[in-house]
Amino acid sequence: MQLPIQFFLQNFHFALDLFFALVTFAIFWLYFDAWTVAKKFRDLSKSLGFLLVALSFVVQATIVEEAFFGQGLLGNYAEMLAVFLRLIGYLGIIYSLLTDPLPQKPVNTGLKLDKKSPALFPGILINLKFLLPLGALSIALLYYRRATRGLENHLKQIALGFFFLALSESFFLATLLRISQNIDLSNATAAFGPVWWLEQICLLISALILGRWIWSYLTERLQSQLFMIFTSSVLVIFLIVSVTFSYLLVNNIENAALGNLETATKLLSYSLDSKKAEIASKAEVFSQNPEIVAAVIAKDHAKLNTLLQDSLTQRKTSSIMIINNGGMVLARAEDPEKWGDSVSSDPLVKQALSEKEESNYSVKEGVLAPTISLQAAKPILKDGKVVGAALVSLELSNNFLDGVKSSTGLESALYSGNQRSSTTIVSQGGKERVIGVKESNKAINETVLRKGKMFTGTLTILNKPYLVVFSPIKNINNQIIGMSLAAQSQNAILKVAGNSIEAIFILSTILLLLSIVPAFFIARYISRQLH
């Protein structure tokens, strides 16, 4: 069983956010080291700003996509915290860049800034998310200004890194459009969709640019270099452990779900066998009724109709037929006016007239789709001689499958050939059961209907992903006439897995943060020993 691609993309998102957090943490470390020398508030503001940005991406790394994995353990609080931390961090960096005097070129008189605050329209609540791309872009422009107007040309790289970060933050805003009524727009901005990929790609480019910039500075100091190497190593180890453990966990969850489906398939098969026995018992009651035996011998159609009419409703059957030893129908309980036709070619009738008791699956034409029925035939005997047969049928309708669902909690369906004849799966409105639809999956048709084997895998039904188990349904001649389905919503499985993955992510990030302290002291100890 293959895990859904969303699982791997969620882990990619986790790793990328932590990588970006590591890069911004390294920049914090650089500016913090500079602050310990000058002790200026603007330098502290800048270093703390990068620290908050790093922490915001650490928090963001733990967030799972609710569209696939359901609501996270922390609900919306984690996202709110990530946005708040990042916004405060951006403001701290912007404040530092605005208040830090610009090293002037000899031919340049500098740039005068307009310190007037922009007017805010009263009564308008500004979503904090909209401020994120503005904050990142402002930092990019301020760094670019220092690199081009001042003497700090090396800051062009960090300006470029924040420009791509601003693009990533802009694509992040697309999450607000996921509830759009426009299907194309909703699909484009959906989790793991095209816009999501653009957001991740821009974030990766930003991380690589900033990482390359900061590494050139960290290599100048042994302690900082050792500290970042230890921290990076711990991060890689935690990523490997987290991804591996979450993979094994989700794989076990899916295997358990498939095990439940196979159990449900066996229960469905057991329910069908029970119905077979029930129908056979009802057929035997009719075949041994003395009045029916006498009416068959006398070919008394009116008498048989009278005897069968009450039985059809009371015994909860779809059809009751009484047949003479020549295969001619003497009475039909469901259609008293239709009689006299021959059913001698029916294999079940042949068996009964040969004094054999058999049950069978049959296909009957319906209004929306062919239906599958259970049939049982019993010979009618008089003095040890076969004088006729009783044939009882029960249509396997939605009500029968509802009983199976109440026992297993899983969805199920029956197919006549590859056409759905009954099901527990309802449309998105929750009112209509979609039957009559043909199963177009070639692998299912080939495995189940042609080879007569069980199919286990995934299938999209009514635009929802399911884990499914299909089994063949065979008639008395061992011919495959249809198939049964047991299914469980994959979204339900992903929600369970999502909470587990998020718990792993949260625990990993907490342990990662705690590991920073010993990494620092180890790096400092080694650095002092070498000096």
Q: How far apart are CA 33 and CA 46, in angstroms?
A: 12
Rg (CA), the chain: 36
Q: Which segment, 40-44, 74-78, 154-158, 430-434, is predicted with the most confidence on average?
A: 154-158
| Gap between the Cα atoms of 449 and 460, Å rounded | 19
| Structure-token pair, residue 237 | 């180890």
Q: In whole numbers, what is the pLDDT of the chain averaged over residues? A: 79
Above 70 in pLDDT, residue 225?
no
Q: Which residues, including other chains, have CB under 8 Å from residue 485's CB and lie 6 or more apart?
A: 411, 412, 413, 414, 415, 423, 468, 469, 470
Q: What is the pTM of this model?
A: 0.59
What band does 189 get if pLDDT is binned at 50, 70 and 90? confident
Q: Over 70: is that where the pLDDT of 65 sits?
A: no
Name 17's Cβ contacts closer than 8 Å, sequence gap at least 6: 57, 58, 60, 61, 203
- In one-letter notation, the amino acid at residue 165 is L
What average pLDDT score do residues 456-483 get?
Answer: 85
Closest CA relative to residue 502, chosen from 19, 62, 66: 62
pLDDT classification of 492: cutoffs 50, 70, 90:
low
127-137: buried (b, 16+ CB within 10 Å) or exposed (e) per residue?
eebebbbebbb
- DSSP-assigned beta bridge partners for residue 382: 385
Asked which of 52-66, 72-86, 172-186, 216-230 is least confident by mean pLDDT, the reply is 216-230
Beta carbons within 8 Å of 412's beta carbon, 6+ residues apart: 264, 268, 401, 404, 405, 423, 424, 484, 485, 486, 487
pLDDT exceeds cutoff 50 at 1: no
Task: Please check the confidence at residue 415 and state whether its pLDDT lies above 70.
Answer: yes
What are the Cα distances from residue 529, in Å, to 29, 222, 526?
A: 22, 11, 5
pLDDT band, residue 116 (cuts 50/70/90): very low
Average pLDDT over residues 76-99: 87
Average confidence (pLDDT) over 451-464: 84
94: which DSSP letter?
A: H
| pLDDT value of position 27 | 85
Pick left, alpha or beta for residue 126 (phi over 0 → left; psi -120 to 50 → alpha; otherwise beta).
beta
Strand locations in 307-400, DSSP E?
319-324, 329-332, 358-364, 371-382, 385-395
Phi, psi angle pair for 526, to nearest 5°: -65, -40
pLDDT at 117: 38
Task: Report helix, strand or coil for 433.
Answer: strand
The yes-or-no verdict on residue 282 having pLDDT over 90 is no
Contact in structure between 319 and 392 (CB atoms under 8 Å): yes
Type of residue found at 283: A
Q: What would the two tokens of residue 187 be?
A: 């699909």
Instruction: From residue 309, give the alpha-carbon distance in Å to each of 291, 332, 334.
Output: 14, 9, 8
Give the pLDDT mean for 93-106: 76
